[in-house]
Each structure stands twice: as C-alpha cells, then as structure tokens.
Copies of this chain bind each other. A is one copy, B any other.
Amino acid sequence: MRHTLSVLVENSPGALSRIAGLFSGRGFNIESLCVAPTLDPTMSHLTLSTSGDDQIIEQIIKQLNRLVDVYKVVDVSEGEFVEREMALIKVKAEDDTRAEVLRMSDIFRCKIVDVSPKTYTLEVTGPESKIKAVVELLKPLGIKEMAKTGTIAMLREKKTI
C-alpha cells in the first residue's frame, strides 16, 4: 500500500542526505519526495511517498525517528487526508489539435501558463490519479515535456467538534 509521510526536519545541509541514505541503505523505496522551507526558517518540511506493507512502514518511521535531524514523523495516510500534486505539461497545439487541448484543459480545470505558436503549457493539480488520467488523455495529442512535483498531503480536520 502507498503511504505518505510528513516529516519535519532541521534545515541543515546533511539532513536530506541522511534521510536519503537511510532509504537507499535499507532498500526502502521513495516514490516521490518534496522538500520545502517552512514558516520557521530553521526547519524544513519533507513529504515522502513510499510503498510497502505495514511492517516496512513501521520500520521506516522508527528509523526516521532515530535520526537527530528529524523532529516529527506523521503517517498522513493513516487518517483521512487530502493529497495533491501538480504537473506542468507542455503539449503540442497545432491547428488540428488546439481545440482538443483546450477542451481537455477545461474539463480537468487546468490553467494555461504559457502559449507558443506550436505548444500550450498546462498547469494541473489534483490527486495522483487525476494527474495520471490527464497525462493518459494528452499523450495521443503529443506531450513534449512534463515536470511534476511529488505528492503533498494534509490530514483532514475531524468532522466532530
């Protein structure tokens, strides 16, 4: 099963290297990763998506917690959560396909962030499955380039007060 871990780490040059080393050394798999600064400049926020059975995930969390740079690890996918990623997709848009690209863009609520005589660049956000669907549908029209962030996630607020 796919798990998304939210990790608060010290903003030090070695922290990422130690975390990546832990994963590669033990053969754990990183599917996607986002590292970004937080409101507090001494800390970074790392969102890591990985897969494995419960035992492996438990091991990963335990090992992460043992690193000195790591303040906190939360397995977001244990509760109810919102998950999003973003992609920039540069698609061919020539006379015969331009209308179709625009239709796709409307249906999936993409934003067009760049236009050239032969291409459109779309920005699309959503859960992983949506991004996959958009990519599959745009492929036949001709994807020239794609850049994707990893997944970020946040626990939903509990509905009971």
Contacts and interface: CB of A to CB of B under 8 A. Distances in A.
A55 interface: no
Contact of A154 (B23, B27, B118, B121): B121
Interface string A54-87: 0000000000000000000000000000101111
A6 to B, nearest CB: 7
A129 interface: no
Interface in A24-46: 24-25, 27-39, 45
B156 A116 contact: yes
Interface residues of A, number: 60
Contact of A116 (B13, B121, B146, B157): B157
Contact of A33 (B35, B88, B146): B35
How many copies of this chain are found per oligomer?
2
Contacts of A150: 34-36, 149
A32 B135 CA distance: 25
A147 B16 contact: no
Contacts of A88: 82, 84, 152-154
Interface string A139-161: 10001011111101110111101
A31 B37 CA distance: 7
Interface of A: 6, 13-14, 16-17, 19-21, 23-25, 27-39, 45, 47, 82, 84-88, 90, 111, 113-114, 116-119, 121, 123, 125, 135, 139, 143, 145-150, 152-154, 156-159, 161
- The 5 nearest A-B residue pairs measured at CB: A116-B157, A149-B149, A36-B148, A17-B20, A17-B24
